[in-house]
């Protein structure tokens, strides 16, 4: 009886790992085509699955270099976009306003004030 319970618990654990890991993996694959951090969910799903399944360990071992390259490429793109924004900002001349000179890129927003309904 104890042996059956132990096997049942192990089976239930593996099925739980399978469900959670596959959920993360499928959500990550969906996020490739929709906005979202697919690069986080796919490895997380594989890592969860790799705790119990050898095929997931092998797949994670193969995919890890690709993930590292993708992360490095994303970091480089983020840095280049930040650099282009900084260069663009520096190229704009300052704007003269009635209140002095404002840095480039800033706009003076005039707010309309509603007339007071209270009579004095």
List, for residues 57-93, the tens digit of each pLDDT value: 998 899 889 888 888 888 888 888 888 888 877 776 6
Q: How far apart are CA 80 and CA 78, in angstroms?
A: 6
9 domain residue, yes or no: yes
Count of domains observed in the chain: 1
Residue 96 pairs in a beta bridge with: 101
Cβ-contact 21, 49 below 8 angstroms: yes
pLDDT digits (tens, 9 = 90+) for 9-32: 889 999 999 999 999 999 999 998
Which residues span the domain enclosing 80?
A: 2-94
Residue 120 lies in a domain: no
Say if 86 falls within a structural domain: yes
In a domain, 110, yes or no: no
- For 33-59, how does the pLDDT look when each residue is reduced to its tens digit (9 = 90+)? 998 888 889 889 999 999 999 999 998
pTM: 0.58
pLDDT attached to residue 99: 60
Q: Is residue 13 part of a domain?
A: yes
> Does any domain span residue 8?
yes
* Cross-strand partners of 9: none
């Amino acid at each position: 009886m104890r042996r059956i319970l132990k096997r049942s618990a192990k089976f239930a654990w593996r099925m739980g790992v399978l469900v959670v890991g596959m959920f993360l993996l499928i959500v990550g694959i969906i996020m490739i085509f929709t906005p979202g951090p697919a690069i986080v969910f796919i490895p997380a799903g594989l890592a969860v699955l790799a705790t119990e399944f050898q095929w997931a360990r092998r797949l994670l071992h193969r995919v890890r270099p690709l993930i590292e390259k993708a992360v490095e490429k994303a970091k480089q793109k983020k840095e280049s976009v930040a650099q282009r924004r900084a260069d663009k900002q520096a190229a704009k001349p300052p704007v003269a306003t009635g209140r002095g000179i404002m840095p480039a890129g800033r706009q003076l927003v005039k707010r309309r004030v509603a007339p007071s309904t209270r009579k004095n």
